[in-house]
Amino acid sequence: MAGKDDIKKERFTSEKEDLARLNKDLEARILELYSLYNISKVLNLSFAVEEIFNGTIHEIGKTLKIDEFCIMLIDEKCQELAIRAWYPDPGTLPDVRFKIGEGISGMVARTGRPAIIQDVSKEPEFLFYKGAITDIGAFMCVPLLGKRENVLGVFNVHKTQPNAFTDNDIKFFSEVAEQVAIAIEKAIIYEKTKEASMRDELTRLYNRRYFFEYLEKESLRADRYNKNFSILMLDIDHFKNFNDKNGHIKGDNVLKQMAQLIGNKLRCSDVVARYGGEEFIILLPETQKKAAIIAAEKLRKAIEDFKYEGGENQPEGRLTVTIGVATWPDDAAFTSELIDIADKALYLGKKQGRNRVCSKDDMQLKKDEI
């Protein structure tokens, strides 16, 4: 009789332990669902990508109770992953990019499958964000998938200690990534619609309105992080002569071809706009004057070497440009003044014979000669 009682007691104890474990798992799942609900609610208030990153990342971090994570999105222009948000401190945002397939993040972006590295010191493919972030022991990367299962980017979670992720983490953070991806895809569609109104109809470059908005943002960013940036003002030499000799249709073709050439010769982060008529304006982020002059000279030479139909009718027998360069904060303390300096440098280049690059330094040299 005692044996039967012992069996019943053991069974009761086992069932009680199973029930307690189930209750604990249920409580954890309810907490996860509540966290997902809060994250979804916060994300749905954002209509632009920058709003998601600036306004909700901190809330996501607090809700998830994790020390550090980042979001990388695919730059469609150059097909690279770029860091767009960093928690807990956006001020530490490293300027790191990965090619698709490069490192763990690049591999997840290519395959669309999540990855957990419990001890990154044993993983030769782990790049520590190319040396920018070294205090990582365990790492999880989850893809951000759009509605068509297309990869928008990746959601990376860092732990300082190895073997810190549980079996349930990959499922939970995949659900978090799904909510983030829904918000980002919605914001990207919104921004593309908005951007369409900021494009020049002929060249498909940005228009002046967009450029000035971007310039103001870049000046604030450069000021905050103590960075340089440069402006290139570019004008086609003797363009009226080209239109008079060849007609406006060929003139429009030149503007379209030149816009494409300029875009191909610059970095993904550079911003090009049609300033008006035959003028283009270019913003080079994190670029000092010497590097900007080198970039301008390469661009001038590429345009000079390109064979445009009708270019043989130009005074020099080919189509050329003159470029004015100005650098912030070296040449000006205000963006409007910076554009004015670039324009004056361009005008000096025209006076000196065209087909050249000039900067404020050349303007000073001209004054000294007088």
- Cβ-based neighbours of 364, under 8 Å, separated by 6 or more: none
What's 185-237 look like in SS3? HHHHHHHHHHHHCCECCCCCCECHHHHHHHHHHHHHHHHHHCCCEEEEEEEEC
Mind telling me the catalytic residues? 278
Burial 264-283 (b: 16+ CB within 10 A, else e): eebeebbbbbbbeebbbbbb
Give the dihedral sign, CA 147/149/153/156. positive
Cβ-in-10-Å burial (0-12, 13-18, 19+) of 351 comes to exposed
What distances in angstroms separate CA 240 from CA 56, 202, 318, one per listed residue? 51, 18, 14
Give the dihedral sign, CA 96/100/102/108. positive
**Is the bond preceding residue 88 a cis peptide, omega within 30 degrees?**
yes
User: Cβ distance 167 to 25 under 8 Å?
Assistant: no
